[in-house]
Structure 1
């Protein structure tokens, strides 16, 4: 994978290293943000079975050859369309043990399952779907979730 030098990106953004190091926010053009997200998705774990199960139209298009692959569709379009199924499966026993509030909600039938909670609310709260992703989920939470 190729990523342009940092100074080239800063120049395209009209910023300097000094500005970058002292500000909390910087404005990104949508095409730059999109390519950065596509690169991140290309390098991330992808749940092909889940993506095809949740998106029967994509499964059919892959089967007929209309779409090259489920992952390529997700990287180019599905992520931006908000399609489900691409993230790794939720490890329900671990998720419920790590999130006692969710375990209580499931027990009280306020939430259907650990997976439902994660997909509807948990990911947006910065929770991890499994122990494997706990560290990276915490890093995302630090930059995305504002208290």
Structure 2
């Protein structure tokens, strides 16, 4: 795990230089190949991702830095904040203290496979773990 990407790249302009982003992608692929493991890289979103949005393609554009950071990966998953009202409701429904960061949205925003679900998911943090959130409906008595 490399967190954040910038820590490995030193003075390279990974945030603005597509060549530097592509070289980082090649480095991550080399690490994966050599050690037969996944190389998980953590990077930041732009401030635009603080605004709620359910469109994974729009969110992909809010990943900070050169577009080659996303383009050079096999898979890119983004996490971002959803609507504040939704977060408040979900916390209330689950009898937990409201925390803006307890409810986030997530989606695969880039994949080299066509067999991937790219729909936006709502994730709820129970204890320290983000879990897919499933709505339950109470229709009352008939």
**TM class, shorter-chain normalised?**
under 0.3
In terms of fraction of residues, the more helix-rich structure is: 1
TM-score by length of 2: 0.27
In terms of fraction of residues, the more strand-rich structure is: 2
Tell which has more relative contact order, 1 or 2 (C-alpha 8 A, sep 6+). 2
